[in-house]
Every structure is written in structure tokens, then in C-alpha cells.
């Protein structure tokens, strides 16, 4: 979703669905009410860190916030096999010259596949916490992963299972693009 007005409408709708006021969402996320209001009006492009904070408070995934329902694969395609070309991936969010996070496959609320591309030298860190288990596999490059129990470096072909509500950060530890695939497993 690149339309900030649609993102804002969806955020406002989800906030109201959770019966939260702007002030309550602000207090729980650590983001000012004025900035959340600007997001809801589509007046600003929120950072990945702020999207993560809002999603954590709303107990939703970034996919649920960022992908418009009209962008999802039609139900008729879910009934049969199909091919999704790289250029047809649905962007979830991105930071110019840093990262792209795209939806590859979404079959149900319980199973989603995303691809994370970190540009060469991307060292910016922001923490992630998800309400779902997440299985990752590195397809290219070296992925740095920091969790409470230690720091890890994953190379091509390495996999990891990150359990729900585990705080973690991800960086690119190689001098080339790092590509990893992530499977969301909701309960």
C-alpha cells in the first residue's frame, strides 16, 4: 500500500475497532497523539519503527495494517495453483536505500509468506515483536539477528523459528543484498 490516506483510514478503523482513543493509542505506543492523527489523515508517511509500535498495540501484523483488502489475491486464485512474479509482489512497507518488505503469499489468516530485502550495508536496527510465530530462511547474503538469548549470524540456507512475542532485531551482515523469506504462523 503506497496510499497514505488508505493507510490512515485503516489505522483509524482498527483503532476504533479495538475501542481505543487517540490518547490511549498514544500512551501505549509512545507516539504523540498529534503524529497519530496525522497518520490517520494520511498527512505523513510513518516510519517502520512507528508502524511496528502501532501494530504491537493493536495486536495486528504489519500485513494487516499495510495491505489494502482490494490488493489481496482474489478468492478464486486461492482455489487453484498460480504463479506470482517478483514484480507482482505486494509491498507491505519499505525504507528507501534500506529495506523492502513484500507479501509473497497469503492463503488464510493463519499462514502468510513475506520476503525481506535488506540493501548492502543496511545497519539500521529497529526492534520487532510479533503476535505470531515466524519462520525465516535466508536466501541470499548474511542476516544478523539479535534476540534476548544472543546474537546470531545466519547465512544462505540457514533457518530460524522466532516464537510469538519475542523481541528481535534484524540487520544485513554482508556486503551484498540480503534476502530472507518469512512465514507468519498465526494460532
What pLDDT was estimated at residue 124? 62
Residues of the chain predicted below pLDDT 70: 1-3, 63, 66-80, 93-97, 107-110, 122-126, 187
pLDDT tens for each residue of 99-120: 777 888 776 666 788 899 988 8
In the chain, the DSSP E strands lie at: 90-95, 99-108, 111-118, 127-128, 133-140, 143-147, 150-154, 159-162, 168-172, 178-185
Nearest CA to 134 out of 120, 145, 122, 119 is that of 145
What pLDDT was estimated at residue 73? 44
What pLDDT was estimated at residue 123? 66
- The verdict on pTM exceeding 0.85 is no
Cβ neighbours for 152, distance < 8 A, ≥ 6 positions apart: 144, 145, 146, 160
What pLDDT was estimated at residue 87? 80
DSSP summary character for residue 33: H
Which residues on neighbouring strands pair with residue 142, listed in sequence order? none
What pLDDT was estimated at residue 162? 93
Grid cell listed for 179: 534476502
What pLDDT was estimated at residue 32? 94
Amino acid at each position: 500500500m503506497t496510499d497514505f490516506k488508505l493507510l490512515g483510514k485503516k489505522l483509524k478503523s482498527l483503532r476504533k475497532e479495538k475501542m481505543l482513543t487517540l490518547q490511549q493509542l498514544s500512551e501505549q505506543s509512545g507516539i504523540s497523539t498529534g503524529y497519530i492523527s496525522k497518520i490517520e489523515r494520511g498527512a505523513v508517511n510513518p516510519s517502520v519503527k512507528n508502524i511496528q509500535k502501532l501494530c504491537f498495540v493493536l495486536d495486528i501484523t504489519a500485513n494487516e495494517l499495510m495491505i489494502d483488502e482490494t490488493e489481496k489475491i482474489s478468492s478464486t486464485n486461492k482455489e487453484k495453483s498460480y504463479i506470482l512474479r517478483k514484480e507482482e509482489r505486494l509491498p507491505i512497507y519499505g525504507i528507501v536505500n534500506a529495506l523492502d518488505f513484500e507479501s509473497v503469499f497469503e492463503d488464510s489468516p493463519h499462514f502468510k509468506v513475506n520476503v525481506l530485502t535488506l540493501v548492502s550495508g543496511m545497519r539500521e536496527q529497529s526492534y520487532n515483536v510479533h503476535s505470531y510465530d515466524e519462520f525465516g530462511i535466508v536466501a541470499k547474503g548474511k542476516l544478523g539477528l539479535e534476540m534476548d538469548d544472543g546474537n546470531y549470524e545466519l547465512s544462505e540456507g540457514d533457518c530460524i523459528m522466532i516464537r510469538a512475542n519475542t523481541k528481535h532485531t534484524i540487520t544485513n551482515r554482508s556486503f551484498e543484498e540480503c534476502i530472507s523469506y518469512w512465514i507468519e504462523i498465526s494460532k
